[in-house]
Amino acid sequence: MATSKLQALWNHPAGPKTIHFWAPTFKWGISIANIVDFSKPPEKLSYPQQVAVTCTGIVWSRYSTVITPKNWNLFSVNVAMAGTGMYQLARKIQHDYFSETEAAVAKE
Amino acid sequence: MAAFKAFLNSPVGPKTTHFWGPVANWGFVAAPKNYNWWLQQGLVDTQKPPEMISSNMTAAMCVYSGLFMRFAWMVQPRNYLLLVCHASNETVQLYQLSRWAKAQG
């Protein structure tokens, strides 16, 4: 029973025998790299870059559902990209606009 | 005029996401300098000295754009804009890789 399910996945139109599998799988590297960068200090983050990552993730998430074959691997990697981008943006905005007062008080 | 209208209304034209996905990707090809090390800059970086090129990232980008060129060709509908985008990035990254290799001596 398990083998037939595995076989179905193996032979899927967006499965590991096709480019529809490997292209998105490789793209996970970008999101993983962004997750590694969660520990980077916010001063070193780039607004244009994180906005680009976020927008690209959102647009491509939609794209993945309207192509043939429908590609949930591509969908999930782009949802992750948008998610990491938004998180990084939130971190940087928080640092730039909402922690200045704390820093000013600390200096006094 | 008729050709332009046809483009506007095409199944892969600007009214569809098949257009805007690849457009978003062009940012990676032409991106400006202050981007992160892992999101490789494209054309602007060709002006950087070769010592600053990350061979890991450049090689990864070569694989990435190679994969997505194939993807763009095989997907339905076939996406020429995406293909051209990744073909350009592939070219730029291969050029950067050759600059790096040359600087290794």
For residue range A28-49, what is the model confidence (pLDDT) as tens digits?
A: 987 888 888 899 899 888 888 8
Residue B40 has pLDDT above 50, yes or no: no
Q: pLDDT tens, B65-104? A: 999 999 999 999 999 989 988 998 899 889 999 999 999 8
Contact yes or no for A19 and B71 at CB 8 A: yes
In the DSSP assignment, the letter for residue A68 is B
Assess contact for A49 and B39: CB atoms under 8 A: yes
Reference B45, options B100, B101, B104; nearest CA is B100
Question: What integer pLDDT is reported at residue A33 of this predicted model?
Answer: 82
pTM value is 0.76
Contact yes or no for B24 and A33 at CB 8 A: no
- H/E stretch holding B90 reads helix B80-104
∠ CA A2-A16-A61, nearest 5°, is: 105
| Contacts for A85 with CB less than 8 Å, ≥ 6 apart | A34, A50, A51, A52, A53, A54, A55, A57
Tell me whether B67 touches chain A (CB under 8 Å). Answer: yes
| Contacts for B7 with CB less than 8 Å, ≥ 6 apart | B13, B14
- Provide the ipTM: 0.75
CA-atom Rg of chain A in angstroms: 19
Contact yes or no for A56 and B39 at CB 8 A: no
Tell me whether A53 touches chain B (CB under 8 Å). Answer: yes
Residue B58 has pLDDT above 90, yes or no: no
CA–CA dist A58, A83 (Å, integer): 9
Q: How sure is the predictor about B35, in pLDDT bands with cuts at 50, 70 and 90?
A: very low
Cα nearest neighbour of B12 on chain A: A67
Q: How far apart are the first and last CA of chain A?
A: 69
What tokens appear for B12 in the block? 């892969």
Q: How sure is the predictor about A104, in pLDDT bands with cuts at 50, 70 and 90?
A: low
Tell me whether A47 touches chain B (CB under 8 Å). Answer: no
Q: Give mean pLDDT, residues B29-43.
A: 45
Q: pLDDT tens, A57-85? A: 999 999 999 999 999 999 999 999 999 99
